Every structure is written in C-alpha cells, then in structure tokens.
Amino acid sequence: MRLSEKHWTLLILIVLVALTPFFFPSSYYFRVGSLIFINGIAVTGIVILTGYAGQISLGHAGFAGIGAYTCALAPVHLGIHPALAVVLGAAISGALAWLVGRPILRLKGYYLAVASLGLGILVSMLLTNEAWLTRGPDGIDVPDPGLRDLFRAMGLGFSATEAWYVFNGFMLIVGAWLALNLYDSPTGRALRALHGSEIAARTVGVDVAGAKLTALVISAVYASVSGSLLALQNKFITPDVSGYMHSIEIVTMAVLGGAGSVLGAIFGAGILTMLPQVLTVFAEYEQILLGLVMMLVMIFMREGLLPSVLRLVRGRGE
Amino acid sequence: MPELMQFLLSGVTVGAVYALVALGFTIIYNASDVVNFAQGEFVMLGGMITVFAHMAGLPLPLSALIAVGATAAFGVALNKLAIEPARGAPVVSLIIITIGASIFIRGATQLVFDKQIHRFPAISGDDPIHVLGATILPQSLWIIAGAVAIFIGLWLFFTRTLIGRAVLATSNNRLAAQLVGINTNWIMTLSFAVSAAIGAIAGVLVTPVTMIGYDFGISLALKGFAAAMLGGMGNPKGAFAGGILLGLIEALTAGYISSQYKDAAAFIIILAVLFAMPQGLFGKKSTDRV
C-alpha cells in the first residue's frame, strides 16, 4: 500500500511523539520535547503563510504574545477557564490579523517584511509598557489550567512535564493534520497558485487578496496557540515571547527546516530548539554557530534541510 | 519654544544616524536587491574597532581610519562568501542569510573584543553649544554634517558618475547591464564596501554620544531599515528624508507624548505611510512583468 505524503507526515509525527519518550533518561528531555512541539505549532502556521502562499512575516511573535498574555490575563480579569483563554487569544489574534491583513498584504517582499515587523514591535511594546495590566518587562504569572488533574481523572498518573509533553504533542499533530488538509483544499490550491504568480492566479479566478488574508489569519491563530501553550506550560510569561528575536526565530526554524513542507518546518523547529541545549557547553560560541548554520543552510540547501536531505537519499536510491 | 527647539535638535541628530544607516541599506539594495540586515553590525564594528585600536595606543583619527577600512573589508567578505553564492534565492532566504550574518558578527565581536560598553572622546569636546535656548553637542553637529556630506556625495555618485550609473543599471536589469559591458560582480563588491564604510563612519561618529557595545547594531538596523522603507527603498533621497523624519517623529513623541512609546510612534507612521503609499514616500510605482 502506498501512503500519501500527508499520511506519511502524520505517521512519522505520531511515531516520534509516542515512541521517543521511551528513550528519555530524565524529565528534562520531556521539557525540551514539549518546547519543540510548541515551536512546531507556530512554525506550521508559517508553512501556511510562507511555504504555501509565499508571504513573509517578521512579526508573528506579536500573535504569540497575544495568545500568551490572554492566558495570563483573561482567567484573572474575566474569570474564564485558562483553556477557554487559549481560544479567546486565538480569536483576538485572528481578528487582529484579519483587520490589518488587507492593507498589509497589499505590500510585497521587503515592504511586507517591514510592515509585519512594525506590527510585531507594536504588540511587544504594548505588553512591555502597559505595566498596570501586564506587570511590564519582568513578566507575569499564568494560572494553571489543571492539565495534570485532567489526565489523573482519566487514570493516567503523569508528572506535570510529562502531561504537557503528551498534550502539546497531541496539539502539534492536530495542527499538522489541519495544515496538511489545507494543502489540497481549494484554499490551499489558491494559495499555492498565487505563490507562483499572483497575476496568473487572478486570471484563473482566484480571489488573491482573500486567499492571502485567510493564510495570514490561520497562521496568526497557530502562533497565538503556540504562545498560549508556552505560557500555560511555564506558568509564567515575559514580553520576550512577542519580541523581534522570537519572530525571527519562528521564521528561521520554518525556512531552515524547509518551509515548503510541514514535516520539514517541524524538523527545523526541532533542530533550532535543541541547538542551544546541546551548545550550553560552548555558550560563548552559540551565536557564531547559530549564524553560521543559518547562512550555510540557506546558501547550500535552499529548500531547507529536510527536503535537501530527502532528495539526496532518494537520488541515491534510484 | 526652547523645548520644541531642543526636541527638533535631538530629533535631527538621531535622524542623521538613521539616515546614514538607511543610505547603507540603499546602496546594497540598489546593486543587488538584497536588504542587508547586517547593516547595523557595520555601525557597531566601526565603533568597536575604533575603540580597541585607540585603546591599543593608536591615535584616534588613525583608529577611525583603520575601523572604516576593516569594516569595508568585512562588507566585501560578506558579499563574496554569503550573498554571491546565494544569488537568485527567494527574499525570505536572503533575509535569513543576512540575519545569520549579523548574529555571526555579533557573536564574533563579543569573543574577539568584549561585552562591555565603550566610548572615546568627541571630536570637538563635550561643551554643549546654545542655540535659541536649546543646547546641542558639538559631536551632534559632526554627525549631521557627516550625514549631509555622505548624502550629497552619494547623490553625485549615482547621478554624475559612470560607476554610479552602472550601479543603477545593475539594479534595474542585471542581464542587460552585463550585455552593455558592466562588470556586475565588481559593482556588487564595490557597493558592499561603500555601504560597510558608510556604516562604520556612522559608528565612529555616534560612539562619543551614544557609546557602543557588541549588541548595539540590532536596533540601529531595524530603525535604518524602517527609515529606508519609509522613504522608498533604493532611493538615496528617500533614505535621507526617511531617516531625518523618523528621528524627528521619535524625538517629538518622546518629548510630548511618552518616551516609552517613541518607537511605537515611528512604526505607526510607517504602517500608515505604507498603507497609503505602498512604495514609500519617494518610491516610484513599479509594474511587474508578466
């Protein structure tokens, strides 16, 4: 039986999420794994925006910030359950993306980059400066959504880190599944068509502005959920989650791994999340190595790490 | 009124720095269609190399000269090692390459030099000059003069010299430029050298006022990029006007509204301008070839 690429991707993800814990020597590894899943969710959003539709964003951390701070603030001020706050944050992020999307997405290339950059910086600045609400740059506590109790009620005695590993892994697989479904849907086809040529797409009847807007809103929701999960897992969040460097990180993970495919981008998230953990011994050289990796991969493996490696393997097999 | 005068003076000073960074962006963009996010690192290198050459006992003018020359060499290396091999890569890849370069340069600088913040003495001392009830540092005048001189120089270069026109031709259509005998690779190298040198000069000029550290380049690159986009990418006039405008907006916001939101005001104006004029203030409307 031949599996489609979609099913392969899901199968690989499920196997990785389910089986790697058997090789984890300590709970620290669960934490790193869980962080990879969180970044993987944000990066899957970038696959839809950049990989499918070819649009650039240097401001997606802004949406992650909205998701994270909604989880910190809504349960306290509005009295809603933290799980509901994740949905609320996603709704706010989606609404903001929808609102600013039309004018921003008229811009192309670097102009789009600077506009999205500005948007991200504005969100980050609000979170840093409105200290009466957000407690400012020092960060804020995030309420516990009771994930462990939920698992315990189902008869599963996980530790907190294990519980988050399982839950975030589940969320990543759902996110990847949705993104993969989108690929072959009419919207996904429209996005890929306008990536190739906007004018050609318009001539065959694609609503270019509408399709781009859809991609931005969906990717904003992914980023927001990723920010929410980070805040809930850490029970604490600082405005750094919305900062410029985090935006760059998200895009770099996706593009390094291979923004054209969900699996590639998640692979990139895995590599870049683990890199600093592996390099703690050489903390001094971390920046130099990170910069080198970014340049070398982009120069010699333009489609990203995973697609290039796969091509190498397949080329040998034939 | 002295209050307003003070805000205007500091706005123009900061704006002149942004204009210098934006001009650096413009030159490289004109030659290669690449926005070089490592432009801020050139400014940082200019300041840091001068500091350490001076600490090693060299006279200040010589240190500054060495810094500008060395930074220009780094610019050429960046082009040869990272930009040329990636020709034809999509915009996202180029952004990541130049951001990677900036992270690399930052990491190397803190290893080779240090993580401290440094400064060296100003060219004409630190006694403020009084203008209409406001004060300005002599060094600020040097910064403004430097920005104006470099702007005029570049303007003459692009409009009056054969090489400058060759740069514009390369940016317009690389293949056509090669067909009329322009050595486009050489033009690229030259552009990176000039752009890096301008960045380094900015670094030398601002260090006595703002001081310099290994991570000072990031925010300068962001502001310079924003200024260049505000004016319209690729247009030296736009870069200069965009830089000064950005500096003024920031200073006035900091003075009259809130110093915490001075960066916000700048980006709100940029978003508003781009919404109304997607090509920036001075950008020409372009049509795509199908």
> What gap in Å lies between CA B193 and CA B209, rounded to an integer?
25
> pLDDT-based confidence at A153, cuts 50/70/90?
confident
pLDDT in tens, A205-223: 888 888 889 999 999 999 9
Confidence of residue A37 (pLDDT cuts 50, 70, 90): very high
Output the six-digit token pair for A207: 């609503």
CA distances from A159 to A26, A28, A150, A151, A165 (A): 12, 12, 12, 10, 10
pLDDT at residue A137, rounded to an integer: 85
B130: β partners: B135
pTM for the whole structure: 0.87
Residues in A touching B258 (Cβ below 8 Å): 129
Partner A contacted by B260 (CB < 8 A): yes
Listed residue (B34, B290, B80) closest to A113, CA to CA: B34
Confidence of residue A184 (pLDDT cuts 50, 70, 90): confident
Q: In which domain, by residue range, is A199 found?
A: 5-317
Report the gap between the CA of B45 and the closest CA in chain A (Å): 16
Q: How far is CA A159 from the centre of its chain?
A: 25
Rounded percentage of chain A residues whose pLDDT exceeds 70: 98
The ipTM of this complex is 0.87
Q: How many helices (H) and strands (E) does chain A have?
A: 15, 2
Question: pLDDT of B54-75, one tens digit each?
Answer: 999 999 999 999 999 999 999 9
pLDDT at A318 over 50: no
Give, for A126, the enclosing helix (H) or strand (E): helix A109-129
Per the structure, the count of domains in chain A is: 1
The DSSP result for A12-81, as a single string, is HHHHHHHHGGGG--SHHHHHHHHHHHHHHHHHHHHIIIIIIT----S-HHHHHHHHHHHHHHHHHHT---
CATH code of domain B2-276: 1.10.3470
Whether B99 and chain A come into contact, CB under 8 Å, resolves to yes
Looking at chain B, how many residues does it have? 290
CA end-to-end span of chain A: 20
Tokens of A309: 């490696």
How are the residues of chain A apportioned to helix, strand and coil, as percentages rounded to the nearest 5? 80, 0, 15
User: So what's the pLDDT on residue A131?
Assistant: 84
**What does the DSSP 8-state code read for residue B57?**
T
- Chain A residues in contact with B268 by the CB 8 A cut-off are 118, 122
| Number of C-beta neighbours around residue B172 at 10 A | 10
Please check the confidence at residue A75 and state whether its pLDDT lies above 70. Answer: yes
Angle at B74 between CA B71 and CA B76, to 5 degrees: 115
Contacts of A300 in chain B (CB under 8 A): 85
**Calculated CA dihedral for residues A45, A51, A57, A63, nearest 10 degrees:** 0
pLDDT at A96: 93
Q: Could you tell me where the DSSP H helices lie in chain B?
A: 2-32, 39-55, 60-78, 91-112, 138-160, 162-172, 174-179, 184-210, 217-231, 236-252, 262-276
Contact A295 B82 (CB under 8 A): yes
Which residues of chain B does A110 touch, with a Cβ-Cβ cutoff of 8 Å?
Answer: 35, 91, 229, 233
Between chains, do B278 and A286 touch, taking CB under 8 Å as contact? no
In chain B, where are the structural domains located? 2-276
Task: Please compute the mean of the pLDDT values over residues A230-250 and round it to a whole number.
Answer: 90
The model's pLDDT over B172-188, given as tens digits with 9 standing for 90+, comes to 888 899 999 999 899 99
Average pLDDT value for chain B: 88
B188 contacts B78 by C-beta, under 8 angstroms: no
